[in-house]
Amino acid sequence: MPELPEVETLRRSLEPTLLGASIDRVKVNRREVIVAPGDPPGGFSRHRGETTPTRLRAGDLLRGETVRQLRRHGKQLAIVGGTDHSLLIHLGMTGQMLVQRPKTRLPDHAHVVWSITTSSGPRRLLFRDPRRFGGLWVIRTTEDLERRWRRLGPDASVVRTPELVARLAATRRPLKAALLDQTVVAGLGNIYADESCHLAQIRPDRLTATLEPPEVDRLATSIRTVLKAATRLGGSTLRDYRDAQGRAGDATSRHAVYGRAGQPCPTCGCPLSTSVLAGRTTVWCDRCAQ
DNA sequence: CGTGGCCCCTGTGGGC
DNA sequence: TGCCCACAGGGGCCAC
Give pLDDT, residue A55.
87
Summary mean pLDDT of chain A: 94
Q: Is the CB of A48 under 7 A from strand B?
A: yes
The rounded distance, in Å, linking the Cα atoms of A201 and A190 is 17
Give pLDDT, residue A41.
78
A7 in Cβ contact with A77 (< 8 Å): yes
Which nucleotides of strand C are protein-proximal, with an atom < 7 A from a CB? 7-13
Ranges of chain A with pLDDT below 70: 1, 45-51
The residue whose CA lies nearest the C1' of nucleotide C12 is A42
Give pLDDT, residue A205.
96
CB atoms within 10 A of CB A129: 27
Q: A191-244: per-residue pLDDT in tens?
A: 999 999 999 999 999 999 999 999 999 999 999 999 999 999 999 998 889 999
Q: A112-133: per-residue pLDDT in tens?
A: 999 999 999 999 999 999 999 9
Which nucleotides of strand B are protein-proximal, with an atom < 7 A from a CB? 1-6, 8-12
Question: Residues 54-73, chain A: which have Cβ under 7 A from strand C?
Answer: none
Give pLDDT, residue A46.
64
Q: Largest alpha-carbon pair distance within chain A?
A: 59
